[in-house]
Structure 1
Amino acid sequence: MSDERTGTSNNIAGEAAAALITAPGSGQGKSMITAALARLHRNAGRKVRVFKHGPDYLDPMVLALASGQPVYQLHPWMTGEAECRWRLAEAARDADIILVEGSMGLFDGDPSSADLAVLAGIPAIPVIDARGMAQTFGAVALGLASFRSDVPVHEVIANRVGSARHAAMLEESLSQGISLLGAVPRSDAMSIPDRHLGLVQASELADLDAKLDAAAAVLAEAGLDRLPAQVSLTAEAPAVAPRLLEGVRIAIARDAAFAFIYPANLDLLRAMGAELHFFSPLIDRVLPIVDALWLPGGYPELHGTTLAANKDMLAAIRTFHSDGRAILAECGGLMYCTQVLVDKSSRRHELLGLMPGEARMADKLTALGLQSVKLNGHELRGHTYHHSVLDTPSQPLAHACKLAGAEAEPVFRIGGLTASYFHGYFPSAPELVAAIFRGQPLNTQTGETGHA
């Protein structure tokens, strides 16, 4: 898979202990194991960098707190192969250990966590839930190690182990060439509450720091305090971002209701010359003095009463929109822009009304997957993941496309408002992102357009 979005300027290289923490499937405990490993090595005085495979917002919040460093997404399609290599090589220049948390099972998806491990040249260490399992543990480990010859699996972690005897049985079941890195006992320290989109946000857990320290102690007791293998990582540095947002001031909603923001998106906006100002639609009464507004995804359905009660902020954003200024609303931000949000308890909350209709929470997942939007001759890559449905008479400007090619999320343009359930990864299409935040016309033409 090639990536032509990134130019070259300088080669960078580094060396660090590195591993992809993966699993046979979801629910094995790899997220908490990764976070606890990060905290364990950080507490030992090492510099730890953690990355997340795939379009996930919630795990990186916990991993950032655990490691003390920002956590970036790595995905060969969404972020691009060149960017995956660059971020890892850049981290290896001064990190002692690099951990990459996989998504789903090791070989699930296209591109999978295994594909990322091969691309990066790092070994995979599966976390296997050993509850109710004895010799079959060895069969699972062997299957993961032998399924693809290009994916190195030489160590595994047994999770939720019942006793020392249980751990011994698991270790004895392993085939030659596969060793048990550690056996993690069942412990309350190794769990974090979750909700319909995944883990609860790190900022909502007052005792998370203490819990991470406790989880790190559990791993240390299980013998997981040694470093994985050293690897050498090299890459070409990306081209300098075009200064398409020079002097543009952007207000970004960021609080408990709106928190789904890729760090790379903020980096790109700054690199393109934008001046960023953060505010809270839950608490603040006025908008910062800005030229454009970004309402990212999050959990507005959990805060509908507070959002609806903040009449001053609703009025300020309505005025901003009526003045024709640029607004980007993604997923939760889209829900905030509707006339009514209906939460899971069927309570109706009157919100911005920038687009007609209502967003209603559903009892199940309503959309999931990698998608891209093609506008103004550029392809913005990203994903969708939501538990609500939109009922609106507004006609979309365009539709995103699923990675497999099928039509997916609608993209609306109402005045200066660009709104969709789609979450964009800004570095994949800087020119299109700049056009959105400058409030420039958007079209579905396939030809390349000039810079602003």
Structure 2
Amino acid sequence: MSNHDSQRTYKGTAAAALISAPGSGQGKSMITAALARLHRNAGRRVRVFKFGPDYLDPMVLELASGAPVYQIHPWMTGEAECRWRLAQAAEDADLVLVEGSMGLFDGDPASADIAVMAGLPAIPVIDAWGMAQTFGAVALGLATYRDDLRVTEVIANRVGSARHGALLAESMPAGMHLLGAVPRSPALDIPDRHLGLVQAEEITDLDEKLDAAAAVLAEAGLDALPRQVSLEAAAPAPPSRLLAGMRIAVARDRAFAFIYRANMDLLQAMGAELQEFSPLRDSVLPEADAVWLPGGYPELHAEVFAGNTAMAAALRAHHRAGKPMLAECGGLMACMESLVDGDGGEHAMLGLLPGQAIMAGRLMGLGIQSLETRYGQLRGHTFHHSRLETSEPVVARTRRSRGDSEAEPVYCRYGLFASYYHLYFPSCPEAVAAIFKGEAVIEGEQAHA
């Protein structure tokens, strides 16, 4: 699917729902993935979207649905893009699912807001472990908290027995019913780590696990489609070809994997030729005018990265030549002189910035943020468990979307644009193009190429 097909209007009707929960840890990610796989296995065309910033859930959802997964978020991606992506999907799909973020009403905007905006029914997944009749009270609270949101069905997760499921069904208030009681099952368990789910490619039996999870949901009676929703929206105007003729080398492997499809789409729509490479495995950097080191898990692969001296030399040579480089979060960590992993081991990094990246053992940055540029507001988010010790001057700081307080520092050095901040490229294409061309993007900053 192209990010910018044309400026035509998309109209579609499809079964659709927001899969949410009272909070994190209820199991909604695997329920969403299992639903997608269940309906895909039934021969239906399925599209899934992720509400808000997330790199890991979409990896699993793509494998489950067999289709690309994009982020939608009224503030980060914008309401117009949310409406367009959903309407475009509804034209071709039999089922459109949106996986919510955290709890149904958590955040501003919250997952509930996308359901209201698009007219989607919200189906909460509630962890029933340790609950009986109180389950109905939780469901009632979710259904009545906001007048503008439709909640008539819920899914019980981690149900202990058939009798337990019957008690949950009996607890449903008037006007609501239990869509399905999902038993506790290893098929619905997926490993995680400090930033969320383990990356999909690291789980060797994930395809089989998704099929097994789909079978569990079918046994629980969750094979019916949600109600039909009609969606209509205009496609965005295509971006200017600001990167025509440019070659961008994109790091992509288990250490550098946090890449939004929309970001790649936009670079190509602006005319860039993208060449993926692995800083862990490859010894040669592709011929490129610019390099993108996205986020990921460099701390888990620091020894291998440090041992690939040929690639490190190639990246340093690229930087010495003054060629542009964007380094986000894990990419920033790789640009330091060294990285101290969670066990206290120190590993040599690229040395493009002075100092160390140190795993902190706790969350050090979280939230939706923006950066004011010469071209407008560049939006994105931050989520990291490490900290920096560096003498590098801070060129600018991002600002939190709520409260407008300063957040992540931005560093610019000889073509390098680096921060813990993850950029959502379509929010300001002109600024992104300037970064990859080595042009100044922040007021008062000198061109850094």
Q: TM-score band, normalised by the shorter chain?
A: over 0.9
Query: Contact 2:375 / 2:441 at 8 angstroms: preserved in 1?
Result: no
| Residue 435 (str. 1) matches residue 423 (str. 2) | no
Give CA deviations for 1:272-311 in whole Å, capped at 9, x if unaligned. 0000000000000010001000000000000000000000
Query: For 2:282, what is the secondary structure of its paired residue?
Result: coil
Cα distance in 1 for partners of 2:428, 2:260 equals 14
Q: How many residues align?
A: 441
Match of 2:211 in 1: 213
8 A contact 1:76–1:84 mirrored in 2: yes
The RMSD of aligned alpha carbons is 1.3
- The offset of 1:445, in angstroms, is 6.0
Q: Does the alignment pair 1:412 with 2:405? A: no
Distance 1:11 1:445 in 2: 40
How many angstroms apart in 2 are the aligned matches of 1:72 and 1:169? Answer: 38
More displaced stretch, 435-444 vs 45-54? 435-444
The correspondence of residues 59-138 of structure 1 with structure 2, limited to 5 A, is 59-138=57-136
Whole-Å separation in 1 of the counterparts to 2:387 and 2:442: 25
TM-score where L is the length of structure 1? 0.96
Q: Which amino acid aligns with 2:131?
A: M
Partner of 1:361: 359
What is the CA–CA distance in structure 1 between the aligned matches of 2:300 and 2:210, rounded to whole Å?
Answer: 26
Query: How far off its partner does 1:9 sit?
Result: 3.3
In structure 2, what residue type is equivalent to 1:173?
Answer: S
What's the secondary structure of 1:355's corresponding residue? coil
Q: Does 1:47 align with 2:10?
A: no
3-state SS of 1:99 partner? strand
Worse-superposed segment, 434-443 or 215-224: 434-443
Moved over 3 A (4+): none
| Counterpart contact for 2:410–2:418, Cα < 8 Å | yes
**Superposition pairs of residues 221-260 of structure 1, within 5 angstroms:** 221-260=219-258
Contact 1:375–1:445 (Cα < 8 Å) also in 2: no
Amino acid at match of 1:430: P
Aligned 8 A contact 1:376 1:445 in 2: no
Equivalent position of 1:272 in the other structure: 270
State the secondary structure of the residue aligned to 2:432: helix
CA contact (8 A) 1:375 1:444 kept: yes
Tell me which amino acid in the other structure corresponds to 2:431.
Answer: L
Q: Which residue of 1 aligns with 2:200?
A: 202
Structure 2: where are the runs of 5+ without partners?
none
1:156 aligns with 2:154: yes
- Corresponding residue of 1:187: 185
Match of 2:15 in 1: 17
8 Å contact from structure 1 (residues 377, 445) kept in 2 = no
Structure 1 range deviating more: 375-384 or 222-231:
375-384
The residue that corresponds to 2:281 in the other structure is 283
Secondary structure of 2:82 counterpart? helix
Q: Is the 8 A contact 1:50 1:63 kept in 2?
A: yes
The corresponding residue for 2:338 is 340
SS at match of 2:354: strand
Q: Per-residue CA shift, 1:210-264, capped at 9, x if unaligned?
A: 0000000000000000100000001111001111000110000000000000000
* Cα displacement (A) at 1:376: 1.5
Distance in structure 2 (CA, Å) of the matches to 1:399 and 1:441: 15
- Alpha-carbon distance, 1:120 to partner: 1.1
Name the aligned partner's letter for residue 444 of structure 1. E
Residue 111 of structure 1: how far off its partner (Å)? 0.1
Tell me which amino acid in the other structure corresponds to 1:287. L
SS in structure 2 of the partner of residue 93 of structure 1: helix
CA distance in 1, matches of 2:330, 2:340: 13
Q: Is the 8 A contact 2:375 2:430 kept in 1?
A: no
Amino acid at match of 1:234: E
SS of the equivalent of 1:80 reads helix
CA distance in 2, matches of 1:252, 1:218: 39
SS of equivalent to 1:166: helix
Partner amino acid for 2:228? Q
- The letter for the 1-side match of 2:209 is K
Residue segments in structure 1 that go unaligned for 5+ positions in a row: 1-5, 447-452
SS in 1 for 2:83: helix
Give the structure 1 partner of residue 176 of structure 2.
178
Amino acid at match of 1:144: L
Identity of aligned residues (%): 68
Structure 1 residue 396, shift from structure 2 partner: 1.2
- Give distance in 1, aligned partners of 2:56 and 2:135: 29
> Normalising to structure 2: TM-score of the pair?
0.97
Find the partner of 2:308 among 307, 310, 318. Answer: 310
Judge conservation of contact 2:62–2:69 (CA < 8 Å) in 1. Answer: yes
Superposed CA deviations along residues 155-197 of structure 1, whole A, max 9, x for unmatched, are 0000000111111110111111111110000111111000000
SS in 1 for 2:92: coil
Alpha-carbon distance in 2 for matches of 1:181, 1:441:
54
The answer to whether 1:424 aligns with 2:423 is yes
Q: 1:330 aligns with which of 316, 328, 331?
A: 328
Whole-angstrom CA distance in 1 between matches of 2:83 and 2:441: 32
